[in-house]
Amino acid sequence: MLKTVELEDALVNLFVESEELSELSEELLDSLDTEGILQFVHHHAEPVYAYRTDSEELSGCTYRGDMLFTVPAIRITQVKDASCSEPLEFSRTMELWLLQDMSFAAVACVRVQDGERGFTSEYRTIRAREPSQFKPVIDLNYDLLAAIFYCLGQLKSYIPFPTYEL
């Protein structure tokens, strides 16, 4: 029960910037299955690494650096900030992660990918941990927040998974 309260508090804190969004948050919170979201996050969260490389080639390198968070997390959304694609695909995204401890983090990710050789390299850094600091990093506007709630509402229906006692 405590974890569901923590999740609801974390979601409400995303909406502190605007009265209009605060009213929307109450409406959306009532429609969410917070216990289902907790179960989904507990089952599907994975370690997030500050630096990660993957290669499909036999002679390629697969490497994981230090963990970015102390607990596993699940990426809720990402917003592409910049990209180019010649000769390698380069992108910079801002990501919003929900951690297993029911807190959020805004993360910047730089990715270099060579599709022909199956090589990907990602570097992530935490840009903000408190929703009040997210504004310069990720613009949590009405559409994005509604999408986040929609995504959270749909999580449980994607894949069947065991139920955990939390």
Averaged over successive runs of 10 residues, the pLDDT of the chain (166 residues) comes to 75 65 67 77 90 82 92 88 83 90 91 85 91 66 64 59 61
User: What does the pLDDT read at residue 149?
Assistant: 66
User: What does the pLDDT read at residue 91?
Assistant: 93
User: What does the pLDDT read at residue 84?
Assistant: 84
User: What does the pLDDT read at residue 108?
Assistant: 93
User: What does the pLDDT read at residue 110?
Assistant: 96
User: What does the pLDDT read at residue 44?
Assistant: 83
User: What does the pLDDT read at residue 8?
Assistant: 77
E strand or H helix that includes residue 36: helix 34-44
Q: 85: Cβ–Cβ under 8 A, 6 or more apart, which residues?
A: none
User: What does the pLDDT read at residue 136?
Assistant: 58
Per DSSP, the residues of 89-154 read: EEEEEEEEEEETTS-EEEEEEEEEEETTTTEEEEEEEEEESSGGG-TTTS---HHHHHHHHHHHHH
User: What does the pLDDT read at residue 49?
Assistant: 97
